Amino acid sequence: MRNTLLENAFRFAHEGIVITDEHQKIVDINEATQHITGYSRSELIGSNPKFLSAESQNKILNQTILQSLHRNGFWQGEVSNKRKDGSHYIARLSVKRIHAFNKLFYLVHLSDVTADRKYRAILSDLILNRNSHQILNKNQLENDFGQMSSMADQNNEKLVVAFMDLDEFKTINDIHGKAVADNLLDQVPNRVKTVLAETDCIVRYGGDEFVLIIGGIKNDAIASQTIQRVLSTIASPFIVNEVPMMITASIGYTLYPDDKGSLDTLIRHADQCMYKAKLDGKSTLFAYDPGEEEQITERNQQLREIATAIQEDQFVLFFQPKVTLSTGHIFGFEALIRWQHPEKGLLTPDRFIDQVYDTELEVSLGQWVIQKAIKQLSQWQQAGHKYQLSINLTAYHLSTSDFFDWLQFQIKQYPELDTSRFQIEILESNRLSDLSLINNVVEFCKSEFGITTALDDFGTGYSSLTHIRVLPVDVVKVDQSFVRRMLTEPEDCKIVEGVIALAQSFNIQVIAEGVESIAHGEVLLAMGCNQAQGYALARPMPIEQLMTFLSAYQPFSQWCAQSGLLKNHKQARLSLFYFYLKHWIHQLQERLFAEPEIKTEWPITQLADSHCGIWLEKARYHHYLDNTTLDQISHYHQYIFHSGNDLLASYLAGDIHASRAGYNALETTFKTTLAELHSLIRRMSE
């Protein structure tokens, strides 16, 4: 008999408490459980606690919980739940095995953490993404769309969801500089609002792209007229620093509720139409037609072709090597699907993969990849190779109810297979909505088969920090778009460095995708990233070419020479500056000696905005090195930077011959300066 104090603690606790017997039948609950779940006491006593997880999770969740309880008598995690009224919420569960009165019981604690998780998701993105205003803008779009769509439904009206891109904006950025370009971008929303209603919405979506949500639309003609007014007002001169600047825009748009779907879907449709507007000559608009029979027919035909291709084994796997940079050792490969189309030739995934999303073919294609990958891995192991092999699977596929049973059956076909060398890559995106379910999938794969998991395209998702914190992944892969641009775009470089540091703080392995040059690998090593894949090493290739490649492969000596950097933080940090400066000089040389009509990346001409300038500011703030050394390094930087800018000014003035002669005269000095820096780095190990 519980005493009064314990009785009250049980009864009035804010956290739900459930007690089940050894057969998992509920024997007692408290009032908070009724409040959280919506079920009454009479409905729950004597029942099985199925209300603790959505039906799609039951099998996975029960397997995970039972394994954990069997091993250590305890389990905790988050699950997606449904209340009695059908509404969804996120719950934090802890389950403990207890013995009392010579019997076995299970004590369950239940907390509703829905609001907290939504807040953390927003906060996580703000922490990771330096462009935090973009995250806030996306949240604003969601909120405004929810309110405006409800109003449109009530008034039997339509909404315009438009995607606007400024034409040739890069030219303004190149000619006038980033500060002027940003000033112009800041003026765009206020300019557009002058021709919209007060309740309409325009936000910057990224770069020079904007999303508009316009209400009070009675018909298609009014929608077109409204968008035309936006185009007209953009075409009027902007005044920046008392200088008039002309610019135009291209706009694609769609109409809700004619076009049904989530806001992401509507924006994607509008974005597609914006590109069609650009193809039509820019400074124009293009409307999405959800009723186009031709599109529907074409997609259905593509799906039929893909289904046939799976049956007839028209798909093939290509393999891209992964390398340990500091040793040159190729430790594994990513398997990438290709379609050997009988009429169109070899097709990459961008030509067909979007068509299968959210269809049964998404699972069928994933199963084909698993079967071929496991077979290839088995063949390598039989030949004595210890390669790792990773494949890409979607969250949708991983969430299917028979995923585990099917995977287990495939693995049993290869009794000698070491599945610890098999890895699943999950794309980080807004499709990773049910983190609790994916979490259980990842845990089950690891506990049952030793299969590791990587979070792919990390840094591009809506809740990057939430994903890395909640999902028990072994690896994060830095998205290749950031890595490719890191040497020319300091903001992308900051993101790459931030992702590497974030992964390391969680003790998670990090791999960089999109490594396209020796310089990429040098900078990544200095940042602390020692694994990579990309065109610098090899493009994806079929198995026959792969074996030829491996027989002739030689590691890059430039990367192997940096093997000690990962152990000496001061060396690594100064090496980062060295490689930034070295690459800036390389860009300068490329620009000066390229023919004027050939497009090459211009080196950054603003001292403080350059990679080296940003590094120096951070180094002084964090006291990476003593002030005397930093002053010396800063002197090197300023000398090379100002000398290079003088050459660029001469080049831009049309005196190309003089600028090239000037570079040739300074080249020895540049090399000497770099050599002195390199010598300083070497001395730090003594």
* DSSP output for 529-570: --EE-STTT---B-HHHHHHHHHH----HHHHTTGGGGT-HH
Say what the pLDDT of residue 519 is.
Answer: 96
Res. 85: pLDDT tops 70: yes
4-112, CATH topology level: Beta-Lactamase (3.30.450)
Residue spans of the domains in the chain: they are 4-112, 118-291, 312-550, 570-683
Indicate if the pLDDT at residue 467 is higher than 90: no
**Any idea which residue has 């893909």 for tokens?**
306
pLDDT at 123 over 50: no
pLDDT of amino acid 671: 95
Residue 113's Cβ-count burial label (10 Å; 0-12, 13-18, 19+) is middle
Q: Is the pLDDT of residue 364 over 60?
A: yes
* Residue range 610-657, pLDDT digits in tens: 999 999 999 999 888 899 999 999 999 999 999 999 999 898 888 999
Determine the angle formed by the axes of helices 403-412 and 360-382, rounding to 10 degrees.
Answer: 30
Q: What was the pLDDT predicted at 618?
A: 93
| Residues in a beta bridge with 532 | 323, 512
Residue 543 burial (CB count, 10 A): 15
Higher pLDDT, 136 or 500: 500
User: Is 315 in contact with 337 (CB distance < 8 Å)?
Assistant: yes
Q: Measured between alpha carbons, how far is 345 from 349 in angstroms, rounded to an integer?
A: 13
Q: Specify which residues 287 forms β-bridges with.
A: 253
Grouping H, G, I as helix, E, B as strand and the rest as coil, residue 643 is: helix
CA distance 341 to 650: 52
Per mean pLDDT, which range of 212-226, 279-293, 303-317, 622-636 is the poorest? 279-293
pLDDT of 468 > 60? The answer is: yes
d(CA 254, CA 271): 9
Write a three-state SS string for 50-99: HHHCCHHHHHHHHHHHHHHHHHHCEEEEEEEEECCCCCEEEEEEEEEEEE
**CATH code, 312-550:** 3.20.20.450
| pLDDT-derived band at 354, boundaries 50, 70, 90 | confident
- What average pLDDT does this structure show over 111-122? 61
Residue 580 pLDDT class (50, 70, 90 cuts): very high
Tell me which amino acid residue 97 is: R
Which amino acid, one-letter code, is at 303? L
Fold of 118-291: Alpha-Beta Plaits (3.30.70)
Question: Which residues are 478's β-sheet partners?
Answer: 458, 512
The pLDDT mean for the chain works out to 85
Q: How many helices (H) and strands (E) does the chain have?
A: 26, 21
Q: Which helix (H) or strand (E) holds 249?
A: strand 249-256
Measured CA to CA, the distance from residue 532 to residue 25 in angstroms comes to 51
Average pLDDT in the 424-446 region?
74
- Of 611, 384, 353, the C-alpha closest to 493 is 611
**Bigger pLDDT: 318 vs 601:** 318
pLDDT band of 132, cuts 50, 70, 90: very low
Distance CA 363, CA 401 (A): 11
145-149, 256-260, 467-471, range with the lowest pLDDT: 467-471
Whether the per-residue pLDDT at 340 is higher than 60: the answer is yes
Q: How far apart are the first and last CA of the chain?
A: 72
Q: What percent of the chain has pLDDT over 90?
A: 47
Residues in the chain: 686
Contacts of residue 499, Cβ cutoff 8 Å, sequence gap at least 6: 128, 458, 459, 464, 476, 478, 482, 510
What pLDDT is recorded for position 118? 55
Is the pLDDT at 127 greater than 50? The verdict is no
SS3 237: coil
CA atoms within 13 Å, Cβ hemisphere of 596: 9
Give the pLDDT confidence of 369-418 residue by residue, as tens digits: 999 999 999 999 999 999 999 999 988 888 887 888 899 999 999 999 99
Residues 6+ apart with CB under 8 A from 529: 325, 478, 496, 500, 510, 511, 512
Residue 18 pLDDT > 70: yes
Q: What type of residue sits at position 156?
A: N
The answer to whether 48 and 54 have CB atoms below 8 angstroms apart is no
